[in-house]
């Protein structure tokens, strides 16, 4: 379901744009669709035919996304396994400080070697209304003032649906544009279309290494950008929007944590309007990849930060519940439901 489908259904009932806006805002805030305002009750504002049709619409919206499992983390986060209307499962994460991470695809076609989500391949796209429904669901749990599109899936491979969701959240959803964070491996369409949007989100780019050949190994189906070229495109967007680019760098012991890599990061980040998010790999004992030691992580952060690179450590929320992206779904899903890895049709 897409957002336009909801608006069309409301219009068929006789709802004018002003009525649609109020109903949509109530939904986005996790409230009943016929919620009125302090000074105006719904029966004095919404046409009778619209009010009569709202229960059926509410049922349809309830079925878009529901919580299948809830896993609170010691860090104040909560990983939610969310069931979509067709029974497919995605993950949303309630983050500390009023944040929410949402999924944009069931599975993913990029196939990052360190990502559990990519192991299932791309199963289907998540519609714009399903993306927004994750926010509405989360707002029943707690306040949500920031939404990051960093859950399951590559947002650029579902671009129309993601941009529709961003536009609605940045207008009727009341979320500041810089608090909507679009995360991508660097699809060229992102750099073309995001600057054209009325709601321009902040941008997070998956970097993970300074070496083009290594990046191709770690992100096998990502566009073949040289890291310097990718950062140049990011810098253009940062200067145009006034938001620094967030560069995501998953730390893998013995792979991309060498001193040579860190020195090349210094060169790449020189003069850039950017933040480097170091993400220690959320490893399990039998993984092919492991996170660096705590001592090494601290060394890297101090080294970069002392030389002018704004560096933050972003541990995956909910690590104590094995909550790395895709892990909840992989545990909940039966093996036969996970399809072989395949390329996106986009």
| Residue 272 token pair | 């850039």
Note if 336 is an active site residue.
no
CB 282 within 8 A of CB 241: no
Could you list the beta-strand ranges (E) of the chain.
65-72, 78-84, 89-95, 99-101, 105-107, 122-125, 146-149, 180-184, 202-206, 245-251, 274-280, 311-313
- Phi/psi of residue 185, nearest 5 degrees: -80, -10
Torsion 190-195-196-199 (CA) sign: positive
Exposure string over 104-133, b if 16+ CB within 10 A, otherwise e: bbbbbbbbbebbbbbbbbbbebbbbbbbbb
The count of other CB atoms within 10 Å of the CB of residue 57 is 18
CB 297 within 8 A of CB 266: no
Note if 325 is an active site residue.
yes
> Any bridge partners for residue 312, and if so which?
277
| Residue 279 token pair | 């993400």
Q: Which of 154, 229, 325, 336 is catalytic?
A: 325
Distances (CA, A) of 117 to 90, 110, 125, 181, 290: 10, 9, 14, 19, 17
> Any bridge partners for residue 122, and if so which?
107
The count of other CB atoms within 10 Å of the CB of residue 140 is 11
Q: Which of 62, 91, 229, 336 is catalytic?
A: 91
The residues carrying an active-site annotation are 91, 325
């Amino acid at each position: 379901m897409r957002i336009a489908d909801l608006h069309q259904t409301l219009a068929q009932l006789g709802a004018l744009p002003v009525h649609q806006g109020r109903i949509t805002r109530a939904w986005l805030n996790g409230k009943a669709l016929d919620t009125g305002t302090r000074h105006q009750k719904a029966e004095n504002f919404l046409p009778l035919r619209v009010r009569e049709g709202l229960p059926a619409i509410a049922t349809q919206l309830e079925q878009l996304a529901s919580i299948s499992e809830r896993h609170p983390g010691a860090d104040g986060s909560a990983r939610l396994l969310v069931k979509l209307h067709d029974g497919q499962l995605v993950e949303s994460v309630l983050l500390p400080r009023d944040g929410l991470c949402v999924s944009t695809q069931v599975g993913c076609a990029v196939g990052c070697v360190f990502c559990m989500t990519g192991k299932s391949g791309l199963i289907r796209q998540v519609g714009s209304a399903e993306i927004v429904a994750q926010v509405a669901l989360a707002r029943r749990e707690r306040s949500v003032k920031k939404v990051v599109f960093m859950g399951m899936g590559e947002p650029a491979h579902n671009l129309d649906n993601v941009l529709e969701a961003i536009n609605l959240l940045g207008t009727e959803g009341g979320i500041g544009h810089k608090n909507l964070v679009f995360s991508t491996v660097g699809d060229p369409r992102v750099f073309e279309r995001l600057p054209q949007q009325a709601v321009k989100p902040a941008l997070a780019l998956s970097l993970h290494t300074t070496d083009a050949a290594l990046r191709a190994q770690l992100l096998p189906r990502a566009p073949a950008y040289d890291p310097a070229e990718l950062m140049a495109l990011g810098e253009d967007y940062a200067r145009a929007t006034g938001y620094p680019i967030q560069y995501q760098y998953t730390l893998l012991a013995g792979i991309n944590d060498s001193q040579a890599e860190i020195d090349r990061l210094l060169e790449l980040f020189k003069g850039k309007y950017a933040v480097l998010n170091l993400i220690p790999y959320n490893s399990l004992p039998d993984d092919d990849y492991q996170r660096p030691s705590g001592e090494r992580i601290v060394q890297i952060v101090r080294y970069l930060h002392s030389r002018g690179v704004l560096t933050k450590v972003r541990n995956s929320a909910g690590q104590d519940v094995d909550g790395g992206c895709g892990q909840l779904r992989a545990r909940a899903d039966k093996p036969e439901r996970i399809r072989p890895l395949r390329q996106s049709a986009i």
